[in-house]
Structure 1
Amino acid sequence: MTNAAPSSGVIPPVCTPLTPEREVDTASLTRLVDHLLEGGVHGLFVLGSSSEVAFLPDRHRRTVLDIVLGHVAGQVPVLAGVIDMTAPRVVDHARVAAEAGAAGLVATAPFYTRTHPAEIATHFRAIAAATDLPVYAYDLPVSVHSKLPADVLLELAAEGVLAGLKDSSGDEAGLRQVILGRRDRGLESFAVFTGSELTVDSALWMGADGVVPGLGNVDPHAYVRLYEAARRGDWTAAREEQERLFRLFGLVNVGGPHMGRGSSALGAFKAALHLRGVIDHPTTALPQVPLDAAEIDQVKTFLSEAALI
């Protein structure tokens, strides 16, 4: 039993199952948590991008926190996304997450507003000051339109403001800069996770501590196998598992040109979980475009080829 914040391993960003009426499907959510725990994951991240946090009203956010934390009951640490536009709003979410029993908080840079690195640093300092929970920075420039600079991250780590990083920037050189800077400055306790599902083996080889994979909802066992292979130095096995996951990841593109990439990817993850019998409905939040029957059949083909159904 633990509520210590995670410093390594596979920490999937948990999808949020919804009913056809777009309420949180709590029964499916608990089955999904069990599916991930049975896969051997080292922690869970709720209310992230793959959780559709940007689409969830505050009451749905609180339901997810209460259901997951209550069901996990300390088996693994649970990180809570507290993502919102600016520090005062994020601080409100942080206090709710702390009250619910989260092990740590995950926040992006501010968005909608146009910010400077100095303001980004102030943003994270304000979040850290609001609770006693460790704070993980989430580098997601595709969504928030600001890249978290390595020097700012390392400065905040040295101050004790940040406990770690989830790097979903797609900038492998930037990731290496953070890993090298951490080593050079003696900040070994600053945890670095990649959020790029397709390059986990190379990130771990560079020195990253783990992965936060959206595709890990669909196949958590594979990411755990990849991570364990890397930990024992079997880079051939890690590469082979990564290549298998690379092919499976093609399911995120089934939506084609008539919907956004997010609708396609999140719809595919949920369709895969539905086809695997984990969740009852593949419903996505409004205003995302749902997958049609032919697209769900394509997801089924990807799962079959990966020997998941």
Structure 2
Amino acid sequence: MSTTIPNGVWPVMLTPFTQDNEVDYKALEQLVNWYIEKGVHGLFAVCLSSEMGYLSLEERVQVASFVKEKADGRVPVVASGHISDAISQQIEEIKQIWATGIDAFVLVTNRLAAPDEDEAAWKRNAERLLSELPEVTFGLYECPVPYHRLLSPELLAWCAGTGRFTFMKECSNNLVQITEKLKAVRGTPLKLFIANNPHVLETLRLGGNGYSGILANFQPDLYVWLTENWETDEEKAQVLQDYLGASNLFEGRHYPTSAKYYLQLEGLEVTLKSRSKQATDFKVTHHREIEQLRRFNQHMKQTLLN
């Protein structure tokens, strides 16, 4: 069982593409270094933000391997990438991606049961994975695509009780559910990182472990400060949380193109190319929105956190 899952900020990584629509590994290396230089505590590769559904299995394996290699032990790396419907095919995907040396393979919760199947069916498939992949350390991700499957606190307690799970990206955006899930995993190796940034500070106060969400592609260092200092400077932490919560309006706005433009402003050699969105839909007004968001991020760091 891996013990390298630290609390804090785990960005859901983007996948840069060349103008020819190939994975841009030069830009991906820059991106890995940018996240780490901003102080993040871990990296979540081959996820929805990585456009994993638009990557071949070979690309998913290569991206996971590359990120793990370039992180070079500075932070742990988890990855997902089982996008098939059949459990037998998912097992093969998991085997190949786990072989890259990642610290946990993150199970997408909607892959283990169909929308009309109950949690008993989900548990049966999870048991099969645990049995057939005894060497794998797992995580969980309540990914909203192709459908949103939230785990009940009871099922999450079962997962945590196996001792095989270390990481969870929780996506309910419901503080009541988050509270019950935190109770369910207490005292186990499973750590809970929320995806929905309006609840980050509240969740930390309840015993949560940090943030793993889209806005860590725009404001990673602000989330790092919040997760590391919320107990020692409560007043600044609340002001910062209020700002980060308001920034949530940018989360789904022309993403991931918007995040790639933000990275261009940060000096990374990243194209606006994406396999899931058209860069031409990212208009001049959207450029201005991201430019202004970046300036406000810089203002918050200079005036509030210094």
- TM-score over 0.5 (shorter chain): yes
Q: 1:181 aligns with which of 177, 180, 184?
A: 184
The whole-number CA distance in structure 1 between the counterparts of 2:89 and 2:174 is 28
Distance 1:226 1:79 in 2: 22
Q: 1:22–1:41: structure 2 CA closer, same or farther, 3 Å change rule? A: same
Shift of 1:4: 4.3
Deviation of the 1:141 alpha carbon: 4.6
| 2:122 paired residue among 108, 116, 120 | 120
**Please, what TM-score do these two structures have when normalized by structure 2?**
0.87
Contact in 1 for aligned 2:193/2:209 (Cα 8 Å): yes
Change (3 A) 1:67 1:161: closer
Deviation at 1:253, TM superposition (A): 5.5
* Contact 1:153/1:162 (<8 A) preserved: no
Q: Could you tell me how far 1:110 is from its partner in structure 2?
A: 3.4
Partner letter of residue 221 of structure 1?
D
Deviations 1:18-61 (A, max 9, x none): 11221111111111111111111111110112212122222221
Question: What is the alpha-carbon distance in structure 1 between the residues aligned to residue 33 and residue 185 of structure 2?
Answer: 34
Q: 1:202 to 1:216 in 2, by over 3 A?
A: same
Is there any run of 5+ residues in structure 1 with no aligned partner, and where?
255-263
Map of 2:259 onto structure 1: 269
Q: Is the 1:193–1:211 Cα contact (8 Å) retained in structure 2?
A: yes
Amino acid in the other structure paired with 1:128 = L
Question: Does residue 1:278 correspond to 2:268, yes or no?
Answer: yes
* 3-state SS of paired residue (1:51): coil
Aligned-pair CA distance for 1:119: 1.5
What is the correspondence of 1:220-231 to structure 2 with a 5 Å cutoff? 220-230=220-230
Match of 1:52 in 2: 51
User: Alignment partner of 1:242: what SS?
Assistant: helix
Look up the equivalent residue of 1:113 and give its one-letter code: A
Amino acid paired to 2:272: P
Q: How many angstroms does 1:221 deviate by?
A: 1.0
For 2:208, the aligned partner's letter is A
Alignment-derived partner of residue 107 in structure 1: 107
8 Å contact kept, 2:6–2:42: no
Give the drift of 1:178. Answer: 1.1
Confirm whether residue 93 of structure 1 aligns to residue 78 of structure 2. Answer: no
What is the root-mean-square deviation of aligned Cα atoms in Å?
2.3
Count of aligned pairs between the two proteins: 294
Q: Give the SS at the match of 1:265.
A: coil
1:72 is aligned to: 71
Identical aligned pairs, as a percentage?
Answer: 22
The alpha carbon displacement at 1:124 in A equals 2.4
Structure 1 residues 224-239: aligned runs within 5 Å: 224-230=224-230, 232-239=231-238
* Pairwise CA distance, 1:252: 3.7
Please say if residues 125 and 161 of structure 1, whose CA atoms lie closer than 8 Å, have aligned partners that are also in contact: no
Picking from 284, 294, 297, the partner of 1:303 is 294
Q: Once structures 1 and 2 are overlaid, which stretch shifts more, 167-176 or 85-94?
A: 85-94
Q: Does 1:138 align with 2:138?
A: no
In 1: Cα distance, 2:172 partner to 2:24 partner: 31
Secondary structure in 1 aligned to 2:18? coil
Any idea what SS the aligned residue of 1:307 has? helix
Shift in alpha-carbon separation, 1:16–1:122, aligned structure 2, 3 A: same
**Which runs of 5 or more residues in structure 2 are unaligned?**
302-306
SS at match of 2:39: coil
Query: 1:193-223 deviations in whole A, cap 9, x for unaligned?
Result: 1111232111111111121122112221111
Between the aligned partners of 2:293 and 2:152, the Cα distance in structure 1 is: 37
What is the TM-score normalised by the length of structure 1?
A: 0.86
Within a 5 Å distance, the mapping from 1:183-262 to structure 2 comes to 183=186, 187-230=187-230, 232-252=231-251, 254=253
- Contact 1:138/1:165 (<8 A) preserved: yes
After TM superposition, the structure 1 stretch with the greater mean CA deviation from structure 2, 74-83 or 292-301, is: 292-301
2:102 partner amino acid: A
| Kept after mapping to 2: 8 A contact 1:43/1:78 | yes
- Equivalent-residue separation in structure 1 for 2:214 and 2:176 (angstroms): 22
Residue range with higher mean Cα deviation, 117-126 or 28-37 = 117-126
Contact 1:5 1:79 in 2 (8 A): no
Kept after mapping to 1: 8 A contact 2:48/2:143: no
Task: Quote the offset at 1:297 in angstroms.
Answer: 2.5
* Corresponding letter in the other structure for 1:116: D
Distance in 2, Cα, partners of 1:68 & 1:238: 31
Once the two structures are TM-superposed, the CA of residue 142 in structure 1 deviates from its matched residue by 6.2
Tell me the secondary structure at the aligned position of residue 110 of structure 1.
helix
